[in-house]
Structure formats: structure tokens, C-alpha cells
């Protein structure tokens, strides 16, 4: 089960993430999770961060 939380970002940053996610064939949520996972792995290279299970459509919240 994934942890849900509210993320407040500027509309311009959201638009950039949305375009990037479309290029990578991901949802915005999936793109943010991917980027965070990559950042954590760079910061802690000895730890393996598992990819989470796909989110059901009704659980994906783009606020």
C-alpha cells in the first residue's frame, strides 16, 4: 500500500512534469515517484529502492 500525501508545486513546474511524464509514457504521479526513487538511490547508492505496485485508477490523485 502506498502512502498518500498532498504535494504543492507551482503550476509551471506541474506543466513541465506533465510534459516530461508524457514523453516517458508515465502519469505525473508515476514520474514524480520515479524521480524521487532515482534521487534517493543516488543519495544512498547501497540501498535498493523497490518500485511500488501500480496504483489503481481511482486511487491516483492529481491535485
| CA-to-CA dists, residue 3 to 12, 20, 30, 33, 59, angstroms | 25, 23, 13, 11, 11
Interval 17-45: pLDDT, tens:
999 999 999 999 999 999 999 999 888 87
Which sequence spans correspond to the domains of the chain? 11-51
Mean pLDDT for all residues in the chain: 83
pTM of the model: 0.69
Distance CA(62)–CA(7), nearest Å, equals 9
Amino acid at each position: 500500500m502506498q502512502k498518500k500525501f498532498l504535494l504543492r508545486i507551482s503550476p509551471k513546474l506541474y506543466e513541465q512534469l506533465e510534459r516530461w511524464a508524457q514523453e516517458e509514457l508515465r502519469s505525473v504521479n508515476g514520474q514524480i515517484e520515479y524521480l524521487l526513487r532515482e534521487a534517493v538511490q543516488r543519495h544512498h547508492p547501497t540501498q535498493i529502492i523497490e518500485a511500488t505496485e501500480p496504483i489503481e485508477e481511482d486511487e491516483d490523485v492529481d491535485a
